[in-house]
A and B are shown apart, each in its own frame.
Chain A
Amino acid sequence: MEEEKTQDILILAVESSCDETAASVVKNGQEVLSNVISSQIELHTLYGGVVPEIASRKHIERINQVIEEALSKAGVTLDEITAIAVTYGPGLVGALLVGVSAAKAISFAADKPLIGVHHIEGHISANYIENKTLEPPFACLVVSGGHTHLVAVKDYGEYEILGYTRDDAAGEAFDKVARAIGLGYPGGPKIDKISREGNPDAIHFPRAKVDGANYDFSFSGLKSAVLNYLNTCQMKGIEINKADVAASFQKAVVDVLVEHSLSAVKEYHFEKFAIAGGVASNSALRTAFETACQKQKIAFYYPSPIFCTDNAAMIGVAGYYEYRKGTRSGFDLNAVPNLRLGER
């Protein structure tokens, strides 16, 4: 009898849920052979935020080049690919549809299995790339421009949402406040940068709690408080210190995120905690979590900035675990803009 060889599993992953067209080849769920991201950020800067129709148009112009580059950088041919993974939600429906339609066609024509992947599942899985020792169970806070979720990762591909935002996502609040103090788009990195020169205790902004839901978040009150503060200053003719406002706002966000996350970790007895999503590359957030986790003797994980932003490598990792679980999608796979974590 022929000896059975363990074959490498190569996932070609495609991501187009918002304003980055991305493709990646991931080997065995950990080794990122290529991670190509074509960002449209400059284009959307003109409009002060992501314009869905423009994002969709750009995706279709770039999608083939990005996928071809991912394959060639990885040095593999389509024949060698085991399966195709694609983000099918949540996100902007028009944007998602470009990646989903292209991935389905590739899967069909190349006769490779297709796996629809949840975008947030991807963000969480980004933590496996650089932390080879990280295994479920752990708790993960996903924070980005569109999402703020506190998630219990029970097993690969098995999730429970412990808390989520009732209104604005954390990243959204960053964008809005950045616009209000004239920093422009994208708000997250800009506030992070200017905050380093400001005093985080200069102004006390409220830390909101949601009654009866300890792990849920609310950022719209905080955003309003910042806008009110700016208005009041303007009426009184007081010159505002942008760096102080930014730093104080950022601290209010970080405080809430850290407090809620760590009390959940404690209550559910997790020994490991991770962050993910675009805002996870915020330096103040990282430092705060690092300190807090150390204090409570909890192992803390976070991805490099390149894997925090929307990328396809994370979809490839999540896709790998779904593949192993036997998840397969049909050619009728549709984009689901408000797809919930843990649902299919």
Chain B
Amino acid sequence: MKILGLDSSGLVASAAVVEENLTIAEYTINYKKTHSQTLLPMLEEIKRMTELDLHTLDAIAIAAGPGSFTGLRIGSATAKGLGLVLNIPIIPVPTVDALAYNLYGCSALICPIMDARRNQVYTGLYAFQKQLEDGAGYDLYTIEKQCAVAIDAIVEKINVLCAQMDREVLFLGDGVPVYRDQIAARIKVKYSFAPSCCNHQRASCVAVLGGELYKEGISQTAAEHAPDYLRLSRAERERAEQEKKHYDIQEMQKEDLEEVTALEASCFSMPWKYKDFEETLTNPNRVYLVAKTDATDAKERILGGCMLTNVAGEGDISNVAVHEKYRNQKIATALMEALLKLGKERYGITAFTLEVRSQNMPARKLYEKLNFVSKGVRPNFYEKPKDDAIILCRE
């Protein structure tokens, strides 16, 4: 399989052609010209130098984000134009994953960082794990999925993880020069910075990792492909801020059933089904509250929901879900507060219990704030992935 790799997500522009175990060409530059002026001329040069017949390409692997919005779009639009003519699929490769792939086989924890402005970095945490078979290679193992966070937040995480795993950490990426001092000031574990030969985006890594992803069935048509920015535009973000209070908390209605079922399915690995929620409507001991927006242009009307079951005077809380797009807006808190109030008023409940995945830190923090305290653990209560349940109570 012959794959064209492209990366214009950061300061570097890079193009490569990789066929099976052979990198036929790779052209990377880190210069002040815009990617719009460099990327395609580089590809043209590769074509000329390697007598490449574009029609022999099988797929285009592209660093699909995060990264500079404009840079991502130059790469994506180029890939889409090529895909349109050559009629080949596009493999979207997470930018930060591909950066980590630079350090294949490295035993340290890998932390790529790209400057994301607004005091944030695009980053993630990775480790290479030896494949089981003898002589086989390594698998890239994602510990922290690529995200946009403050540098201190990721360093904090590294401090904990590296101590737990007894590993060092290796930083790379164009965010290093920007955050070097800040990292040095905060880090408490052994660390180092990758040298310039392997500290930037490389299209060959995008192509090779793209090949792996392709085997897992990841590919898009050229028409479908768009970058994954990880961030909303500023205008959208500000509008969301303004709108985030534009919802009402109310009891689920029949008309909400479909959206509630979809919400549940998007939040849980073993979700309740339509008929389960439908049953709730007629069960006098059950209430499902929804946070419902009245914004006419919103794609989703149901932003979140949660369930209360009255079990002989005790309140059992479950199915606490908030639509991914609307998290970190205190919707779950508002839902929970309303649910506790309703439980007391309608059923005279004073004691509430709920279970939470031990790994679900945001949820555990929320319940703690609402005065829930731990009453024990149910080992391996959850499936997909296996996890312990923490039993929380509020009297």
Contact = CB atoms under 8 A, between A and B. Distances in A.
Give chain A's interface residue range (CB within 8 Å of chain B).
Answer: 35 or more
Contact of B233 (A54, A100, A101): A54
A292 B9 CA distance: 54
B41 interface: yes
A209 interface: no
Interface residues of B, number: 36
B234 interface: yes
Interface string B38-51: 11110110000000
A111 to B, nearest CB: 9
Contacts of B41: 330-332
A180 B69 CA distance: 33
A20 B253 CA distance: 40
Nearest to A93: B70
B40 A331 contact: yes
Interface stretch (A30-38, A45-53, A121-129, A235-243): A45-53
Contacts of A199: none
B280 interface: no
Contacts of A333: 36
B235 A109 contact: no
Contacts of A113: none
A67 interface: yes
Given A105-B40, A105-B79, A109-B86, A56 B239 contact: no
B34 A334 contact: yes
A251 B234 CA distance: 37
Interface in A277-296: none
A299 B122 CA distance: 59
Contact of A102 (B78, B86, B239): B78
B223 A65 contact: yes
A17 to B, nearest CB: 14
Contacts of A108: 40, 43-44, 81-82
B74 interface: yes
A105 B235 contact: no
A64 B223 contact: yes
Contacts of B236: 51, 54
A94 interface: yes
Contacts of A56: 69-70, 73
A104 B74 CA distance: 11
A103 interface: yes
A109 B40 CA distance: 10
A105 B297 contact: no
A328 to B, nearest CB: 14
B227 interface: yes
Interface string B17-38: 0000000000000000010111
Given A94-B69, A109-B85, A51 B80 contact: no
B222 interface: yes
Contacts of A47: 235, 239
Given A63-B80, A102-B78, 7 more contacts: A53-B69, A60-B76, A65-B223, A101-B74, A105-B78, A105-B79, A108-B81
Interface of A: 46-47, 51, 53-54, 56-57, 60-61, 63-65, 67-68, 78, 93-94, 97-106, 108-110, 330-335
